Amino acid sequence: MAVLDSLLRRTGATWQVLVKELGAFGVVGGVCFVIDIGLFQLLYAHAGWGAVSAKLVSTVVSMTVAYLAHRHWSFSHRARTGARREYTLFAVINGVTLLLGLALVALARYPLGHEDPWVLQVVNVGSIALGTVVRYACYKRWVFPPSAPVGAAGAALPRS
């Protein structure tokens, strides 16, 4: 019975952490989504920037806001491995998803010839959705890794 009790407590704690992570990730993502979409629309449709340049700037701004929010809220319970290391990995992961977004917007704009801001916005939203799934998995794995388990003597156990 004690083993079952312990398992239920650990499982409950694991679910609570996952719900906290996903909830915060969703809120941060929602805010950064609005920043990305709004800034893209402002730059492309109203300021006369090119579609790819507007996408680049909107993504870099929203990425920086996302890093700070994820570090201090979404994944605040995970190991701290240093802001320089984390931001570098965060930027690389976001760079890969940025390139994906740029490629999709550029494909729609140039070879396919779409100029309508709403068509390009749909492509932009699709690239953000795809990038979100990739980013969450990568952040958990590499940017904000789990804390190392602590042994009975208080020393960190090696990770497998």
SS (H, E, C) the chain: CHHHHHHHHHHHHHHHHHHHHHHHHHHHHHHHHHHHHHHHHHHHHHCCCCHHHHHHHHHHHHHHHHHHHHHHHHCCCCCCCCHHHHHHHHHHHHHHHHHHHHHHHHHHHCCCCCCCHHHHHHHHHHHHHHHHHHHHHHHHHHHCCCCCCECCCCCECCCC
Through-space distance between the first and last CA atoms of the chain, rounded to whole angstroms? 29
pLDDT at 46: 96
Give every CB contact of residue 148 below 8 A, 6+ residues apart in sequence.
79, 156, 157, 158, 159
pLDDT at 43: 97
Give domain status of residue 160, yes or no.
no
pLDDT at 129: 87
Give domain status of residue 158, yes or no.
no
pLDDT at 59: 85
pTM (global) more than 0.85: no
Give the total number of structural domains in the chain: 1
Confidence of residue 11 (pLDDT cuts 50, 70, 90): low
> CB–CB of 157/148 below 8 Å?
yes
Give domain status of residue 152, yes or no.
no
pLDDT at 145 over 80: yes
Give domain status of residue 149, yes or no.
no
pLDDT at 81 over 50: yes
Q: Which residues span the domain enclosing 120? A: 2-143
- pLDDT tens across 27-73, in order? 999 999 999 999 999 999 999 999 999 999 998 899 889 999 999 99
pLDDT at 17 over 80: yes
Give domain status of residue 62, yes or no.
yes
Give domain status of residue 129, yes or no.
yes
pLDDT at 63: 85
d(CA 95, CA 111): 23
Highest mean pLDDT among 33-42, 127-136, 141-150: 33-42
Give domain status of residue 82, yes or no.
yes
pLDDT at 133: 84
pLDDT at 150 over 60: no
pLDDT at 157: 46
Give domain status of residue 113, yes or no.
yes
